[in-house]
Chain A
Amino acid sequence: EDKVVQSPLSLVVHEGDTVTLNCSYEVTNFRSLLWYKQEKKAPTFLFMLTSSGIEKKSGRLSSILDKKELFSILNITATQTGDSAVYLCAGAGSGTYKYIFGTGTRLKVLA
């Protein structure tokens, strides 16, 4: 059975800290891994990763995929209170329209 596991479940940091969120996956015929940010309502897309070792970057956020070890990390540098959210990762396999989501990491950034 396909699964995606995220760690830690929750994290509290202070503004300016750097955080690393983890996502490991077991997805049949793996195609892609996606990261989403969820504040109060709907998840919003952050990154899509399909190839190992290629870093995706957007401002202070970056992410990378390791297809050999079956995991991805999401890094946030110089955290701000606006980064407080639940971060979700999801995996998808080839030939399917389905996405398997992890349970999420709840990040709280204190001023």
Chain B
Amino acid sequence: NAGVTQTPKFQVLKTGQSMTLQCAQDMNHNSMYWYRQDPGMGLRLIYYSASEGTTDKGEVPNGYNVSRLNKREFSLRLESAAPSQTSVYFCASRALQGQETQYFGPGTRLLVL
């Protein structure tokens, strides 16, 4: 089992460019999450998907869109990148309601110039 995988590991964008961060899990988990982590800010929830076919906004959704493509995959899209979106992005998954452990991917480091 690979667990939670993310691609790419690192990306540099220019302001205004778009890109999609990919996340996949092979643990048959129902819920998936996208977080961003900035220095001194902890992890902040961008979007989450409680189950296949549903997505909901988290604390900081502006400037992002998501797609829960199937049970395994949950992608995060930046339509027009801004320097304020420079961050480390983590994807996570969780099995079932009542099972609290989130499993995190290795992260994507994004730099927007």
Contact = CB atoms under 8 A, between A and B. Distances in A.
Interface of A: 6, 9, 32, 34, 41-45, 48, 88, 90, 92, 97-104
Interface of B: 4, 31, 33, 35, 40-45, 48, 50, 56, 58-59, 90, 94, 97, 100-107
A101 B40 CA distance: 12
Contacts of B50: 97
A101 B42 contact: yes
Contacts of B90: 42-43
A45 B107 contact: no
A42 B31 CA distance: 18
B10 to A, nearest CB: 12
Contact of A99 (B40, B45, B105, B106): B45
Contacts of B31: 97
Given A41-B106, A42-B106, A98-B58, A32 B42 contact: no
B48 A98 contact: yes
Contact of B102 (A6, A45, A100, A104): A45
Nearest to B57: A98
Nearest to A9: B40
Given A42-B90, A42-B104, A101 B43 contact: yes
Nearest to B49: A97
A103 B42 contact: yes
Given A41-B107, A97-B50, A102 B100 contact: no
Given A43-B90, A101-B42, 17 more contacts: A34-B100, A41-B106, A42-B90, A42-B106, A43-B43, A43-B102, A43-B104, A44-B104, A45-B101, A45-B103, A92-B100, A97-B48, A98-B48, A98-B58, A99-B45, A101-B43, A103-B41
B109 to A, nearest CB: 10
A98 B48 CA distance: 8
Contacts of A41: 106-107
A97 to B, nearest CB: 5
A104 B44 CA distance: 12
A7 to B, nearest CB: 13
